Chains A and B, each alone.
Chain A
Amino acid sequence: MNAPLAKEMHEPKSVDEAIALLQEKGKEAALIAGGTDLVIKLKEGVIEPIALVDILKLPLNYIKGSRVRGFQIGATTSAKEIGNSSLLKKELPLLVDAAIHLGGPQTQEVATIGGNICNASPCANFTNVLVALEASVKIQSPEGERVTLLKDFSRGPGVTELDASEIMTEIQIPGIEDPYGTSYVKHTLRKEMDIAIVGVAVLVLPDGNRVRKIRIALGSVGATVLLAENAQRVMQGQVFTPHLVETAGRLAAEKDASYIDDVRSSATYRKIITDKAVKRAVEKAWTMAKGGKK
């Protein structure tokens, strides 16, 4: 029989109790929710905590709000619950899109939105779309609660601003007024189960034929999910034209993203795909904003 993956298992009954445990154990503890990333890291010896603190049974599993007022989503809400949510399907299909493309069905059953974010992969589906939606995360610490913008929360692959004694408890998505458009283009070589070579999520708010506001979040092309600020700036306030989309794609690929060679793709290929994926995502979001297919 394989050796157990840690020495202690704790199942706190409240967030406060979980934080107290994290404070007591310090760096010897690791939080576990869905476990679909963490258990692999334990097996591979990437992390070797003495104690696991299981937070799956804490009351952090909920989807509240509406698109116009904004959403609050509990950190341990599973990808399956988000993918199946009739409220989100109707009000914020972008999030559903991220959920149903997160691993396979067995992973989606247990993988949580908070885990996907705290694992801090630059390829994370939820982080990718949530950065475009300008989401924030609520963090509970021994000192109290704070809210931080998701785009600043990730510091690099596997690194977040969370201290050893803190827990991310909620994802907050600001309200979005009509008319609006969103899109998520995830480029993979296989259709399913694959991690994005490039991911692009867009939120666009039109004002007639002008771009009132646009957010373009790029995944897998930097140390964290990042906003394509040069591309956003060039589109801001401008009349939406094919030429503008071309320019935005080129700027995102050349100025905003950075590329590495890895097992999934060469840097050169990533750059070509970023250009195309940004154009496609922007066009898709604009079509939706102008009353096209949602």
Chain B
Amino acid sequence: MDNGKGREKMKKDIHCIVNGRKITVTADPCSTVLDVLRDVLHLTGTKEGCGTGDCGACTIIWNGKAVNSCLLLANRMEGADIWTIEGLMKDEKLHPIQEAFIEEGATQCGFCTPGFIMRIKALLDENPRPSDDEIVQGLVGNICRCTGYKSILAAVKCAVKKIKVMKALS
């Protein structure tokens, strides 16, 4: 591998929406989306765990789908609608899933948390009333080494209620 010199010409302007904002990012289309988010856009909430699509720490929402950004190449950012953990807070208020994580103590070291929250966001967008089994099945692609998962599952159920209330009020 070269040391990066002479690669400037490989970079391209990529037009996309990140966390609701239209942006143009200059990046190499053969880099991973994870690297572009963290190192170019400085959105370091998205974490690199395994780097091989097993742990889910790098989960983002790409065109409505929860995907591992460590395995997605940056050319797929062109025209895409991308959401990361940084985009969930609205009007200085945490997203109900974030609130639920705090209330249920679903975070310990916190490294897996952004990935879990983005995966749960996609899961609840698709299925707002998941059964216990659907929650467990929906989270098999995310690994947590601290919590033992119980508090995370409780947080999902808590988030379901919070979102329901939020929707009823709006």
Contacts and interface: CB of A to CB of B under 8 A. Distances in A.
Give the interface size class of chain A. 20 to 34
A106 B31 contact: no
Contacts of A260: none
A9 B71 contact: no
A139 B20 CA distance: 41
Interface string B48-66: 0001111010010000011
Contacts of A43: 51-52
A30 B31 CA distance: 15
Interface stretch (A34-42, A85-93, A250-258): A34-42
A107 interface: yes
B44 to A, nearest CB: 12
Contact of B30 (A5, A80, A104, A110): A5
Contacts of B123: 105
Contacts of A6: 30
Nearest to B138: A105
B141 interface: yes
B71 A4 contact: no
B29 interface: yes
Contacts of B40: 1
B140 to A, nearest CB: 4
B141 A106 contact: yes
A237 interface: no
Interface in A53-97: 54, 56, 80
B35 A54 contact: no
B1 A3 contact: yes
A120 B35 CA distance: 29
B72 interface: yes
A189 interface: no
Given A106-B141, A107-B53, A9 B30 contact: yes
A40 B76 CA distance: 17
Interface string A239-275: 0000000000000000000000000000000000000
Contacts of A2: 31-32, 35
A105 B35 contact: no
Contacts of A193: 54, 140-141
Given A4-B30, A11-B75, 11 more contacts: A1-B4, A1-B40, A3-B4, A8-B10, A9-B30, A43-B51, A106-B56, A106-B68, A106-B119, A110-B65, A193-B141
| Closest 8 pairs (CB-CB, A-B) | A104-B141, A192-B140, A4-B30, A1-B39, A9-B29, A4-B28, A109-B65, A6-B30
